[in-house]
Amino acid sequence: MRPLIVIGNWKMNGSLASNRDWIKTVARGMESGMPSGRRYAVCPPFPYLPQCAELIKAHSMAFLSLGAQDVSAFGSGAYTGEVAASMLNEVGCTYVIVGHSERRQMHHEVDELVAAKALQVLDNGMTPVICVGETADERNSGRAEEIVCSQIAKQVSVLQDRLADCLIAYEPVWAIGTGKVASAQVAQDMHHAIRQQLAEFNEDVASHVGILYGGSVKPDNAVELFAMPDIDGGLIGGASLNPQDFLAICQA
């Protein structure tokens, strides 16, 4: 049985003061009871990771893990501006998002680089959250499954059995930050296609890998999405900035 995982991705939002309030509110909300067998995480911008790690510890929030939004594909060295996986591990990260569509689009990240980043994350004892997804044009031209499956195929070719220790996030680009959520059935169909493709490689890997949905998840659509058999949780952007909305999604 795969656990349900809800991960908040703050993107480039937050401040020392608002982070304190967010964690305090979520800690209070989670103390009063959360569904069992679930996992939760939050991914603040890099500079806030140590602060959030301290706050999580101070509020004894064993149920909330920390994640990062990106990582370098290299271990260390002359890579100005990059952050190594070992550094993220050292400041308490459990999860690291790789290949988010905003990085693929704005920083021209390709599947090979995404896989190299995922390997760095795995080698440093953390869980990569590998993002895949099609654009609106790709979906409208009937190529959504082909595009997503080709993104998955590249990860399989590099990561092989180690994919069992990864999470995949299906994030249709047209649904990110637009309010246009994929219907639960559209999301389920793609998650099923991803799992089928993984099963062709290795059935054990396919049954273990958590596949999260991301793209305009809100408290009012999370219940239906999370009820789908191949949807194992969510990667939440905008709605994770509001601690009450994040809590409501975690409880969905």
Ligand X SMILES: O=C[C@H](O)COP(=O)(O)O
Which of 102, 109, 134, 171 is an active site residue?
A: 171
Is the distance from CB of 185 to CB of 221 less than 8 angstroms? no
Catalytic residue among 100, 102, 134, 138, which?
100
Query: Rounded to whole angstroms, how far apart are CA atoms 43 and 24?
Result: 16
Measured CA to CA in angstroms, residue 120 lies from 60, 107, 115, 182, 241 at distances of 29, 19, 9, 31, 28
The H or E element spanning position 128 is: strand 127-132
Residue among 4 and 206 whose Cβ is closer to ligand X:
4
171 labelled catalytic: yes
237 labeled binding residue:
yes
Q: Which residue is nearest to ligand X (CB)?
A: 237
Does the annotation list 238 as a binding residue?
yes
10 appears as a binding residue in the annotation: yes
Q: How far is the CB of 58 from ligand X (least distance, A)?
A: 26
Would you call 102 a catalytic residue per the annotation? no
- Min CB(199)–ligand X separation in Å: 26
Q: Would you tell me which residues interact with ligand X (CB under 6 A)?
A: 9, 100, 171, 176-177, 214-217, 235-239
Residue 84 tokens read as 């190594």
Nearer CB in complex with ligand X: 155/206: 155
Contact 125, 90 (CB under 8 A): no
Q: Contact at 8 Å (CB) between 131 and 171?
A: yes
Rounded least distance, CB 170 to ligand X, Å: 11
Annotated binding-site residue numbers:
9-11, 177, 216, 237-238
Catalytic residue positions, numbered: 100, 171
Annotated binding-site residue numbers for substrate:
9-11, 177, 216, 237-238
